[in-house]
Structure 1
Amino acid sequence: MLVIPTAPWAHGLFDILAWASSAGLGATLHRWRLRDAAERLARATGPGYFAALAAGALVGAWAMGSTNTLRMVAPVLSHSIAGALAGAIVAVEIYKRAVGLAGSTGTPFVGPLAMGIVVGRWGCLFAGLPDQTYGVPTSLPWAVDLGDGIGRHPVQVYESLAMLGFLLVYLTALRRRRSWAFRRSFYLLSGWYGAQRFAWEFLKPYPRLIGPLNIFHLLCLGLVAYACAYHRADVRRERAAARRGTLSVLWRDDEPV
């Protein structure tokens, strides 16, 4: 069992590190491969897009996080990255539908979001038990003691490593100029995040909502369903655009670019 030094302020410190690393990676990817994608996004969307994204992420983060922790033994308000992702998706898709924008707009956010989760989850670990993101007890050799003498699954590390794996695959695809990395990577990020987090949720002592499933299980299933449906729809649009001789990236409805 690994004894982990913990402190409540660790979460804030790693939040800062997560934001800094996300911004650094975003700037690097912009210069390296994604300048065109970012410029297309800026041309196709107005300020309302980013306002919808920010508002959706904020509402989703606190609504989903608090819905979970207010049902625990010691109820508290909290926020959740899964809720922020889901809220941002809902708000942005509503905005896109309202203005007639089709196709994926999330490519510039994929690397920074993945990096933020990779780094930020370590803050959840080092914040210890008060963070309420710890795992259930286990006797595995890599169990962590967060200060109460009980070995637990380091679910925060599981999630960080899972997203690191995705990030490495994504960066490799960008280097090799794979089409999916430029066109549908946000859908794949959403699906992978939802799938891996769904698995780790079974290793957390969160209140159950339906059978063995907690609220984040249901949220993650929604993320996977979103990713599959929108990925499939985008592939169909791409094939249709190829037949018409048009490009199907960030276009207004029925407008060739």
Structure 2
Amino acid sequence: MDGAVLHAIFDVAAWLSAAAAGWWLARFGGVSFPRQSTEWPYIAALVFGAGLGAYLFGTLNLWLSGMAGLARSVEGALAGGIIAVELYKWRHGITLRTGARFALPLAVGVAVGRIGCFAAGLDDFTYGTPTALPWGHDFGDGIQRHPVQLYESLAMASFAAAYIVAVIRRNAAVITSGFYLALLVYGLQRFVWEFLKPYGPVVGPFTLFHLLSLAIAAYALAMLATAPQSKVTHERAAA
């Protein structure tokens, strides 16, 4: 099957998996979330910011790597969505943290979606640099490369598993700050994998996505450091 078709299939699977993860949290995890995160203006701001960020950062990274065209980026979508939502909350005077419901969907969506990137091969421009390690993968050009897409998929799947255990155990701190924990894990693991990608550097050895990964991790740390204490009562978690 064509790589682009496989990628599209896994894109759909990623969205469906993320939706299923959110449904599980509410239905079986017994977790309740702030009402603002389901309002249409909030969702519109999130979708707009994520879409703009995906193409803006994806395309910019492509150009910085000496290639023409348009590209999308999961990390760019995350950054754009965060900025848009924070601006929306600031504009409407919302001080309540509204990201908790997206922790598990984010981790599951990335874990599934990156498999599609792996299946897309060289055309996706998410492959790794050459390696002599036994798990190196030939994406079609005869060169064994780091399957960095699978590294990222495994990292986020591991977070998702740990998060599910925390929900089952009613860990209030993890449930309340889950989104920022997911962002922290995503930013740090992505920063590491960027050293194994053939992207053009921006500052020293660091690429655009190195810098974006650090920014996301720093944002997550700041939010975690200022997180209010919370408790889970009556088998319900408010996040």
TM-score by length of 2: 0.92
Give the SS at the match of 1:102. coil
* 2:119 corresponds to 1:119: no
State the Cα distance separating 1:35 from its structure 2 match: 4.6
Q: What corresponds to 1:58 in structure 2? A: 51
Q: Deviations over 1:164-209 (max 9, x none)?
A: 1100110000000001232111111111100000000000000100
The count of aligned residue pairs is 233
Q: Structure 1 stretches (4+) deviating beyond 3 angstroms?
A: none
Q: What corresponds to 2:169 in structure 1? A: 176
* 2:109 corresponds to 1:104: no
| Identical amino acids, percent of aligned pairs | 46
Amino acid in the other structure paired with 2:74: I
Q: What corresponds to 1:187 in structure 2? A: 180
* 2:35 corresponds to 1:16: no
Q: What corresponds to 2:219 in structure 1? A: 226
Distance 2:41 2:122 in 1: 39
What residue ranges of structure 2 are gaps of 5+ in the alignment?
Answer: 231-237
Whether contact under 8 Å (2:130, 2:143) holds in the other structure is yes
Query: Greater shift after overlay, 151-160 or 172-181?
Result: 172-181
Whether contact under 8 Å (1:6, 1:146) holds in the other structure is no
Give the SS at the match of 2:43. helix
Question: Alignment RMSD, CA only?
Answer: 1.9
* Structure 1 residues 178-217: aligned runs within 5 Å: 178-217=171-210
Whether contact under 8 Å (1:104, 1:186) holds in the other structure is no
**Aligned with 1:161 (options 154, 162, 167):** 154
Whether contact under 8 Å (2:66, 2:200) holds in the other structure is no
Whether contact under 8 Å (2:103, 2:180) holds in the other structure is no
State the Cα distance separating 1:34 from its structure 2 match: 4.6
Q: Deviations over 1:29-83 (max 9, x none)?
A: 210125522xx334x7743211111111011111000000123343120111101
**Aligned with 1:33 (options 11, 17, 29):** 29
What residue ranges of structure 1 are gaps of 5+ in the alignment?
Answer: 240-248, 251-257
- Give the greater-gyration-radius structure (CA): 1
Give the SS at the match of 1:209. strand
**Aligned with 2:121 (options 118, 125, 128):** 128
Q: 1:28 to 1:72 in 2, by over 3 A?
A: same
Give the SS at the match of 1:129. helix
Give the SS at the match of 1:101. coil
Whether contact under 8 Å (2:194, 2:209) holds in the other structure is yes
Amino acid in the other structure paired with 2:27: R
TM-score by length of 1: 0.85
State the Cα distance separating 1:225 from its structure 2 match: 0.7
